[in-house]
């Protein structure tokens, strides 16, 4: 017994070596998976991340990305393991026939798993340590954080990686042991070549798939920028994934059955082998195609979001902070005198002022908009930002002074401006009072207007008289004592000079009556850019991971099916099938399955773009035109890359089936 037990580890090592064509790709995939997991954990566990300035957003997104990465890697590694165990069944069945007991086979598989675990972790951890600093510097650079920060190795990250892959290895080993333990030796011998039964209730699965996909599409098309957008986003992803799997499973069977009934098509050599071969393994093929479609969709959308964000950072900053410095006063002020102090201080500190704007107004914050009605927000409506807005109120005299233009309004008339979608009504109701809209303004110095996205923006309402403005403001509990005067501008120059200007201006204005303080938005702008940099890092990292996972699944699909079809093609050659006919058969199979995942991915992307636009709107990226251009270009580039990769893997498939045993 002891001699037999000591023999099992050596058999396990020999099995891995002799089955290198099966094991080595799986080991390579596992090394890639654990490398990415370990690097992400190293970056997240690095204590420097918690001490760097402006790093809060980067930390949040790295943590979210780390959790998502773990969720993705478990089914991905389980999926690749399913190819491995299917290729090993014949060998394990032979061991059983030769007299090896199931428990000894199980122990041998345990040793194989331990050996693979040791090799994977021995490669992934050093590779992670080698490249993690490079990726850490990329994150710092994108987040505009100090790139000279030190990078430390976290023992906890090493332990996390060891435990995570131990969990995945245990799960895969358990599944493998169950499959081998339940099967008889003869079933194991034919397990790698056993065809799959056609799924039952295809009509039911098709209906469920259409319902899930339809509901997911509806959520994407009807998405609006409200407090449910993130919940709807994840629900839509889940429904689309479920619908894709059901439809690929049921739809592919229905398509193959239809092609089989078309005798003129089916009884041609290349089509006969293609259709019968796919029916032979329909479930596995459908799972592969649905996974390819899902990873392709994730890759495309991730790259679209990352590229459009990178191209729109300046636009996002300009929209959020049209001017970088504000000063506030309560009550009426002498604008010319204050402006003179501002300009004198700028000259003394060597700073250039641009985008000057002075304005008097009254503002109702967190107003609730219901159609054309503006009213105070109730306590239970807090958090419903889809209808929440700020309403700035001016007289026509104040507006004309701000815009340097003449305005003529009769009593009961107003001008209205929205920073988002057009107001679109002929009257405005504030509380119980109605005003007639004389004109809806399309531009205003206060803020930029965004018309390309369905966003309820903030509003500016211009009244004819101070009395009308005060009456409207009183509805929101805003009195005359809360009237403010605000000066906004953008000081430009060397950072020390701008610091000196801000400090000197605030000191000079502090002595004026009604001074309420100043706001320097440069830190907020830096924090925002740090957040966008963190998002771009996540996008680059995950876009790369999704693409690599897609390519790996394509590789496994073609290679595994090549080994399964090798014997069939060998028999066909013996009965007279030529090399040219084999090539035609392979091309026919590629044509049949190549376009399905790509078409599905492009369709998912096009339908989901409305939700992507809304998600981008949540971080104030309203450059819809840039997103649409990115979508068209990235889909075209992805289709080209996908075509090249599929052609290369198809070539590998051809080489395998041409190999004579």
pLDDT digit string (tens) for 522-547?
A: 888 877 777 787 778 778 878 888 88
327: helix, coil or strand?
strand
297-338 residue pLDDT tens: 988 998 998 899 888 888 888 888 889 999 999 988 888 999
236-245 residue pLDDT tens: 888 888 888 8
Mean residue pLDDT of the chain comes to 81
Backbone angles phi, psi at 34, to 5 degrees: -75, -30
Instruction: Report the phi/psi class of residue 484: left, alpha or beta, with left for phi > 0 and alpha for psi in -120 to 50.
Output: beta
State the pLDDT confidence band at 615, using cuts at 50, 70 and 90.
confident
Q: Is residue 61 within 8 Å of 527, Cβ to Cβ?
A: no
Burial (CB count within 10 angstroms: exposed 0-12, middle 13-18, buried 19+), residue 661: exposed
Of 99, 290, 282, 105, the C-alpha closest to 179 is 105
Q: Is residue 390 within 8 Å of 367, Cβ to Cβ?
A: yes
Instruction: Specify which of 11-20, 243-252, 311-320, 389-398 reaches the highest per-range mean pLDDT.
Output: 389-398
Of the given ranges (180-184, 345-349, 380-384, 552-556), which has the lowest mean pLDDT?
380-384
Q: Is residue 273 within 8 Å of 281, Cβ to Cβ?
A: no
| Pairing between β-strand 413-418 and β-strand 352-370 as defined by DSSP bridges | unpaired
Within 321-443, where are the H helices?
A: 335-349, 396-403
**Cα within 13 Å of Cα(617), Cβ side:** 27
Mean pLDDT of 192-210: 68
Cα separation, 471 vs 78, whole angstroms: 67
Domain positions in the chain are 1-194, 270-321+523-661, 322-520
**Cα within 13 Å of Cα(363), Cβ side:** 16
**Confidence check: pLDDT of 4 > 60:** no
The sign of the dihedral angle between the CA atoms of 390, 534, 69, 551 is: positive
Q: What is the pLDDT of residue 660?
A: 46
Q: What is the pLDDT of residue 222?
A: 84
Instruction: Report the phi/psi class of residue 543: left, alpha or beta, with left for phi > 0 and alpha for psi in -120 to 50.
Output: alpha
**Does the global pTM surpass 0.85?**
no
Of 269, 295, 287, 213, the C-alpha closest to 593 is 287
Q: Which residue has the higher pLDDT, 76 or 98?
A: 76
Q: How many CB atoms lie within 10 A of CB 315?
A: 16
543-572 residue pLDDT tens: 888 888 888 877 777 777 677 667 666 666
**Confidence check: pLDDT of 637 > 50:** yes
Cα 202 to chain center, whole Å? 32
| Pairing between β-strand 433-441 and β-strand 413-418 as defined by DSSP bridges | parallel
**Confidence check: pLDDT of 139 > 90:** no
Q: Is residue 244 within 8 Å of 600, Cβ to Cβ?
A: yes
**Confidence check: pLDDT of 13 > 90:** no
State the pLDDT confidence band at 661, using cuts at 50, 70 and 90.
very low
Q: Is residue 129 within 8 Å of 153, Cβ to Cβ?
A: yes
Q: Is residue 536 within 8 Å of 307, Cβ to Cβ?
A: no
Mean pLDDT of 4-8: 65
Q: Is residue 384 within 8 Å of 228, Cβ to Cβ?
A: no
Cα separation, 328 vs 637, whole angstroms: 50
Say which residues have a Cβ less than 8 Å from residue 575's Cβ, sequence separation at least 6. none
Cα separation, 102 vs 95, whole angstroms: 9
Q: Is residue 117 within 8 Å of 165, Cβ to Cβ?
A: yes
Of the given ranges (71-85, 270-284, 552-566, 626-640), which has the lowest mean pLDDT?
270-284
Say which residues have a Cβ less than 8 Å from residue 647's Cβ, sequence separation at least 6. 590
Q: How far is the CA of 334 from the CAs of 180, 182, 330, 331, 486, in angstroms?
A: 88, 89, 12, 10, 11
What count of residues does the chain have? Answer: 661
User: If you ran DSSP here, which 8-state letter would residue 353 be given?
Assistant: E
Mean pLDDT of 511-517: 89
Q: Which residue has the higher pLDDT, 351 or 109?
A: 351
Cα 150 to chain center, whole Å? 29
**Terminal alpha carbon distance of the chain:** 37
Burial (CB count within 10 angstroms: exposed 0-12, middle 13-18, buried 19+), residue 231: exposed
Structure tokens at 656: 């395998």
Structure tokens at 536: 């771009």
Q: Is residue 181 within 8 Å of 102, Cβ to Cβ?
A: yes
The sign of the dihedral angle between the CA atoms of 651, 654, 658, 661 is: positive
Q: Is residue 643 within 8 Å of 551, Cβ to Cβ?
A: no
Q: What is the DSSP string of 452-514?
A: SS-----EEEEESSHHHHHHHHHHTT--GGG-EEEEEEEEES-HHHHHHHHHHHHHHHTTSTT
Q: Is residue 449 within 8 Å of 418, Cβ to Cβ?
A: yes
Cα separation, 393 vs 396, whole angstroms: 10
Structure tokens at 576: 């007279």
User: If you ran DSSP here, which 8-state letter would residue 154 be given?
Assistant: -
Q: Is residue 260 within 8 Å of 254, Cβ to Cβ?
A: no
Q: What is the pLDDT of residue 344?
A: 92
């Amino acid at each position: 017994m002891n001699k037999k037990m000591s023999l099992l580890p050596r058999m396990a090592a020999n099995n891995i070596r002799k089955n290198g064509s099966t094991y080595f790709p799986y080991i390579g995939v596992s090394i890639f998976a654990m490398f990415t997991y370990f690097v992400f954990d190293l970056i997240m566990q690095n204590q420097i991340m918690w001490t760097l300035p402006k790093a809060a957003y980067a930390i949040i997104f790295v943590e979210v990305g780390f959790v998502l990465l773990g969720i993705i890697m478990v089914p991905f590694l389980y999926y690749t393991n399913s190819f491995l165990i299917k290729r090993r069944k014949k060998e394990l069945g032979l061991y059983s026939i030769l007299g090896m007991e199931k428990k000894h086979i199980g122990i041998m598989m345990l040793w194989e798993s331990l050996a693979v675990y040791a090799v994977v972790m021995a490669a992934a951890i050093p590779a992670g340590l080698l490249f993690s600093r490079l990726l850490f510097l990329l994150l710092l650079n994108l987040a505009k954080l100090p790139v000279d920060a030190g990078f430390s190795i976290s023992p906890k990250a090493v332990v996390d990686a060891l435990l995570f892959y131990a969990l995945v290895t245990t799960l895969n080993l358990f599944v493998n042991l169950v499959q081998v333990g339940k099967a008889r030796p003869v079933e194991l011998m034919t397990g790698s070549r056993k065809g799959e039964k056609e799924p039952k209730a295809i009509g039911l699965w098709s209906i469920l798939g259409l319902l899930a996909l339809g509901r997911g599409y509806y959520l994407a098309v009807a998405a609006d920028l409200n407090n449910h957008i993130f919940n709807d986003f994840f629900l839509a992803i889940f429904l689309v994934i479920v619908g894709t799997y059901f439809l690929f499973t049921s739809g592919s069977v229905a398509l193959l059955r239809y092609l089989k009934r078309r005798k003129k098509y089916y009884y041609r050599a290349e089509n006969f082998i293609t259709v019968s071969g796919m029916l032979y393994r329909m479930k596995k093929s459908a799972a592969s195609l649905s996974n390819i479609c899902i990873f392709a969709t994730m890759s495309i959308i991730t790259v679209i979001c990352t590229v459009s964000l990178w191209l729109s950072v300046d636009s996002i900053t300009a929209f959020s902070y049209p001017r970088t410095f504000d000063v506030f006063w309560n009550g009426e002020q002498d604008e010319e005198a204050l402006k003179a102090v501002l300009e004198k201080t700028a000259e003394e500190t060597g700073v250039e002022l641009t985008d000057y704007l002075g304005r008097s107004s009254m503002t109702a914050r967190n107003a609730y908009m219901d159609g054309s009605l503006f009213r105070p927000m109730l306590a239970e409506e807090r958090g419903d930002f889809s209808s929440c807005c700020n309403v700035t109120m001016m007289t026509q005299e104040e507006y004309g002074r701000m815009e340097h233009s003449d305005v003529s309004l009769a009593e009961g008339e107003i001008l209205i401006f929205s920073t988002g979608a057009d107001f679109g009504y002929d009257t405005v109701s504030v509380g119980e009072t109605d005003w007639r809209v004389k004109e809806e303004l399309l531009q205003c110095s206060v803020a930029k207007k965004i018309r390309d996205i369905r966003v309820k923006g903030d509003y500016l309402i211009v009244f004819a008289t101070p009395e009308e403005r005060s009456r409207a403001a009183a509805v929101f509990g805003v009195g005359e004592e809360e009237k403010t005067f605000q000066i906004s501008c953008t000081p430009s120059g060397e950072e020390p000079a701008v610091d000196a200007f801000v400090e000197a201006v605030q000191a000079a204005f502090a002595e004026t009556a009604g001074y309420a303080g100043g706001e320097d938005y440069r830190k907020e702008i830096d924090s925002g850019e740090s957040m966008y940099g963190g998002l771009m890092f996540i996008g680059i990292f995950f876009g790369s991971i999704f693409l690599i996972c897609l390519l790996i699944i394509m590789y496994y699909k073609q290679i595994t099916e090549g080994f399964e079809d090798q014997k069939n093609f060998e028999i066909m050659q013996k009965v007279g099938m030529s090399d040219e006919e084999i090539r035609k058969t392979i091309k026919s199979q590629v044509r049949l399955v190549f376009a399905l995942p790509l078409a599905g991915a492009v369709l998912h992307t096009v339908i989901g773009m409305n939700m992507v636009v809304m998600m981008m709107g949540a971080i104030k990226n309203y450059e819809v035109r840039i997103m649409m251009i990115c979508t068209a270009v990235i889909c075209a580039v992805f289709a080209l890359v996908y075509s090249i990769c599929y052609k290369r893997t198809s070539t590998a498939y051809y080489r395998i089936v041409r190999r004579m045993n």
